[in-house]
Every structure is written in C-alpha cells, then in structure tokens.
Structure 1
Amino acid sequence: MRRSFATVPLIALLAACSGESPSQSADEAARQPEVSSTTNPDPEGAEARPPSQAASPDGYTSAYTTLDLDDCEVLDRSTDEGSWIDLRCPGLQGIPLFVSEGDGRFDVAAGVPGDSFATIMAFNDLDETVEWRMQDGEPFAVIFRYRDVSLESGPRTVLAIEKIGRPGAPGCRVAQIAGATPRANERARMIADQRAAGFDCSAEPYYVGDAR
C-alpha cells in the first residue's frame, strides 16, 4: 500500500524491477547482496568504512550490503499519472529492505514497511552501499546515502539513519546528516548507536547540516 506522498511519473530505473510475488522466493538466498566489512567504495570519504570490524567495548559492529534495485521484488505500483512503486529488497540476516519511490524521491525502511515516507526534499537517488549497525551481532539500524540529483542544489549527499522495524513496531528515520559534515560517517554511527534502538518514532528526526 502506498504511503502518503506527492508523486509524478516513475523514473526509468525502476521499470526494470521484477514483478515477482512479495513473499520471499526460494531462490532469494542465491541473490542476496554481497556482504562486506572491509572495502570502502564511498567516494565521499575514506572513513566511510572502518579499517577493522572488531567489536567495540559495547559490542557495536558494522556489516555492509549492496542495494541493487534490479534484485528487488515489486510489492505494489501505479503507472497512472503520479506513478509510484514499492519494492522489497534483499538485506542482511533475513531482514529485508523496503524501498519506495515517488515524485523522483526515495525512502528506505528496514525489517517491515514504514508508516511514513521519509526522504530529502530535493529529487534524489540512492547510493548502493547500506551499512548495518549491530550490537552483539544483532542489526538495529541501517545507514544509507542519498544523492541529490536536482539541478538547483549542485553536488550534495545526505546520510540517513533508519531504525529497523519489527512486526507490529515499524522503524523510522532517526537522523539525517549532510554528507559534507566532517567525519559524517562516524557521526552517523555514533547517532545510530546512541539513539536508534530506543528512538521514539513519534519524534522529529535529528538533522545535522544541510540534510533536509
């Protein structure tokens, strides 16, 4: 079901997505995204992935997966005026990602579909790398990057921290951080570790820098 947000015709990228059933297919495990904890493909800063994934004293670690929209299942879509699409994508440890697109903007939820459409104001697309924050091996938040593709804003990215939802308790946007913020990725991990697990989803997300 579409979450409330203004929409315009669907971008061409998503037209290639599969029309499979939303239930997890038997071959989904064969197309799980690559999981990594060492390589850093992030063009915005070498600190994006820590050189070591040894657990902190509090047991916090990261794992990384690749988000490829061509590997996602179509849950729902509209091709009428104001087109939109909802996708279910492979995640980590059986926790799926739910990606929605409308009006040239994306939202990402984890675990279960979210109750609201959270994004940045500018037209955007998504970086392919998703960071999963874990405590004692249990994922509790994801960190991903928006790329601002509007002509007005120029080059800009925004890191988003999303609380992972569970059945009966959808997750939500915890914070958004301007990609130009010094050590933005470390800041995102710190916010995730300190705030995500207990974040009240009725509260306003935190914003750092030009992150709306």
Structure 2
Amino acid sequence: MKRILLGLALCCAASAACAAEISSAYAQIDIRKDCRHRAGVAVEDYGDWRCKGYAGMPIWFGAGDQRMYVSFGKKAKDEPAAGETLGPFNDFYDGTIEWRLTEGKPFAAIMRWNYKTPAEIDKPTTSGRVLVVTRLPPGTVCHVGYVDARANPDANELAREIADKHAKNFVCGRDKPVVLGKAGPELK
C-alpha cells in the first residue's frame, strides 16, 4: 500500500494536471445571524457586515439603495468588489458560497444573488437570480463574471467555468467581466 501511495505522490508531483486540480468547498451563510453588523448613518445606507469565510477569509457585505456589495480579504472594503453590484435592485442576505480551490486555497467565490427590476420592487418574489463569480486575494478582488441562473439549467457549471478559466489571471479594472450562457437584459 505504501508503494502505491508513494507512486501516486510522485506521479502527482511530476504532473501539472495533478498540481492544478480544482475543487470546491461550500458554506451556508446568513449575514443577519452569522456576521457582525455596523449600522449605516445616511438615508438608504443599511450598513455593512463582516463575516468569516472559508479558512477564515474575511468577507465584507455592504448594502444601500436596494443593492448589495460583497468583497473578500483583509482589505475587502477597499477592493474594487466593494463598489461592484448588479444594475437591478439586488441582495444576498443568505445563501451558499461556493469556494473554488487549488491546493486547498480559495481563488474564486461563486454566489447566487437575487434581483428585482424597479417595476417589481414592491412584489414579494424575486424576479431573477445571477451567479456572481468573484476573484479572491492574493491580488485585487473584483467581479470576474456572471451567469443568469434562471435562464441556464447548467448555471453552476458555467459559473465554475468562469472561475476556473478566468479568475486567477483576471486583471481588475482592465478585463471585462465574462457573461456565459443565455443572459437576460440585466446582464447585457
């Protein structure tokens, strides 16, 4: 048995494919219960929340004017992601974060955001869902891409494709976020 494990270890050490194996970890989060909240001071400023994510990675949520912002890392509030949101009214108060990992370290986060168009703001249901792929530290944190989760039955796979192919080398502020699959007008 030791010989087989040693052989696999040597094979993996010599193989780029083995070293670059990508996996996922999942975490359920409810920011109202799991995070520290700091109240906002201005009208339409709902404050911000600080949470711990995978392997203790800090997560920052901000909300105001019927929109949310999510960023990651020690300086999350100063990252470009802290100023990025969807065009329509949106939220992510609770849900699952899929962490994309290489060698156990997260390089991207995938979150399912809810949105409503302005005409639907007073309705109790959500009119859409978008998977938002965010690049994680080290390096700059920003949105890498989007997938319309209601228009694409394979939305999770498409979001993983964006993360795996683009997140590590994505240059925030220069590269345009990727939209894969069918997309409603909110993502065009």
CA distance in 2, matches of 1:155, 1:121: 13
Corresponding residue to 2:91 among 125, 140, 151: 125
**Contact 1:165 1:172 (C-alpha < 8 Å) held by counterparts:** no
1:134-158 CA distance string (max 9 Å, x none) = 0121110000011113463662100
The structure in which a higher percent of residues are helix is 2
Q: Which runs of 4 or more aligned residues in structure 1 lie more than 4 Å from their structure 2 counterparts after TM superposition? A: none
Decide which of 186, 190, 196 is 2:167's aligned counterpart: 196
Q: Residue 104 of structure 1 contacts residue 124 of structure 1 at CA under 8 Å; is this kept in 2?
A: yes
- Unaligned stretches of 5+ in structure 2? 1-16, 121-125
Equivalent pair of 1:133/1:141 in contact (CA under 8 Å): yes
Return the structure number with greater strand share: 2
Contact 1:89 1:97 in 2 (8 A): yes
TM-score after normalising by structure 1: 0.66
Once residues 81 and 110 of structure 1 are traced to their aligned partners in structure 2, the CA distance between those partners, rounded to angstroms, is 25
Does structure 1 residue 59 correspond to structure 2 residue 21?
Answer: yes
Report the equivalent of 1:159: 131
- Overall identity of the aligned pairs, in %: 32
Q: In 2, are the aligned partners of 1:125 and 1:149 still within 8 Å (CA)?
A: no
Higher RCO structure, 1 or 2 (CA under 8 Å, sep 6+): 1
User: One-letter code of the match for 2:97?
Assistant: V
Match for residue 20 of structure 1?
none
Counterpart of 1:184 in structure 2: which amino acid?
A
State which structure, 1 or 2, has the greater radius of gyration over its C-alpha atoms.
Answer: 2
Q: 1:184 aligns with which of 113, 136, 155?
A: 155
Alignment check: 8 A CA contact 2:88 2:118 kept: no
Instruction: Name the Cα RMSD after superposition.
Output: 2.1
The answer to whether the 8 Å contact 1:67/1:129 transfers is yes
Deviation at 1:77, TM superposition (A): 4.2
Structure 1 CA distance for aligned equivalents of residues 42 and 132 of structure 2: 30
TM-score, length of structure 2 as denominator length: 0.73
Aligned pair 1:100/2:66, yes or no? no
2:176 aligned counterpart, secondary structure: coil
* AA at the equivalent of 1:118: E
| 1:58-107 deviations in Å (ceiling 9; x for gaps) | 41000001121122123x54333232412211201011211111111111
How many residue pairs get matched?
154
Partner Cα separation in structure 2 for residue 204 and residue 77 of structure 1: 33
